[in-house]
Amino acid sequence: MTNNGLDHVIRAKGHFWLATRPDFLGELAVAGSQTITARLGRWWAAVAKNQWPEDGSFEEFVMKHWDPTWGDRRQELVFIGINMDEARICRELDSCLIESDAFTPERWSALPDPFPAWETTQAVLEPAE
């Protein structure tokens, strides 16, 4: 990868949220020249609360990452490399963000989505209300 600022990235990993797939958590794994993206599951904001684990520490953990508008949806990516252009990586990632103060997936459903379809072999929990 030489034209997007990732030419000195050796490893990257984490999870991300696509506006075109508002209920699903994406996973990124980069190792050398291999890049994998996949569906990791659902954001807890997209799962009915009565289906959350009943462990009190679980809810405490989720609430640490909770936003009143977005729930637990967020980007959390780590890049490891030598002589990386951190500013360029941040600019490239920031250019993908949508400006919005409201959760409006219907406005985002028609946006271009370059990612391949994610496998749907996992059991899908009922949507949050």
Q: Rounded to whole angstroms, how far apart are CA atoms 56 and 49?
A: 13
- Does the pLDDT of residue 27 top 70, yes or no? yes
Checking phi first, is residue 61 left (phi over 0); if not, alpha (psi -120 to 50) or beta? Answer: alpha
pLDDT (tens digit per residue) in 2-15: 456 678 899 999 99
Is this model's pTM higher than 0.85 or not?
no
pLDDT at 128: 56
Domain boundaries, the chain: 9-100
pLDDT at 17: 95
pLDDT digits (tens, 9 = 90+) for 42-77: 999 999 989 999 887 888 889 998 999 999 999 999
The CA distance from 75 to 97, in Å, is 10
